[in-house]
Amino acid sequence: MPMVAFAQAGILYLCAAHRRSQASRRGCHLFTTQIVVFRIVIVYQYFGTPAGGWSTRVYEQAKRWVASGAEVTVITSPYYKSDIKANGFISKQVVDGIKLVVIDAGDSNKISILKRIVRAILFSIVSS
C-alpha cells in the first residue's frame, strides 16, 4: 500500500493508505514525527542585498536558510553603501523572506572616528 503524508497541527503524519481521508480514519499516530523550525538570529552591522553596493555574504546565506525552511532574523544598521534604510530608530522590514531589525546607528567611512565609535557602541547596546 502506498504511503500518504499530510501535516496537521504541526505534526507530519506518514500513513499507509491510498488517500488522506483513509489515513485520517485509520489513526496513523504510530508513524508520527514532529516538524522542527529553526530560528536563526544574526547580528551583523553591514547587511546588504544585491541592490546595494556592499557585501552580500550574509544575505546569500540567510536566503539559503530561508529556502530550507528556517526563520531568519538579521539585526543590522544602515551602512552608507547598503540599500537598507531605517524608517525610525528601530524598524522592522522583510527582504526576500529575511526578517530585518534595522537600528538607525548607521556607519560610514565619511564621518569622524568619534562618531563611528559612538555609533558602534550604540549598535552594540541596542542590538543586545
Average pLDDT over residues 74-99: 86
What is the predicted pLDDT for the residue at 83?
78
Residues 43 and 94 in one domain: yes
Residues 104 and 51 in one domain: yes
Indicate the pairing of strand 32-34 with strand 11-16: antiparallel
Can you state the percent helix, strand and coil of the chain, rounding each to 5?
Answer: 30, 30, 40
State which of 22-26, 46-50, 111-115 shows the largest mean pLDDT.
111-115
Residues 56 and 104 in one domain: yes
What is the predicted pLDDT for the residue at 22?
46
Residues 26 and 83 in one domain: no
Residues 21 and 73 in one domain: no
The pTM score is 0.66
Residues 62 and 90 in one domain: yes
Q: Among 70-74, 79-83, 114-118, name the one with the lowest average pLDDT.
A: 79-83
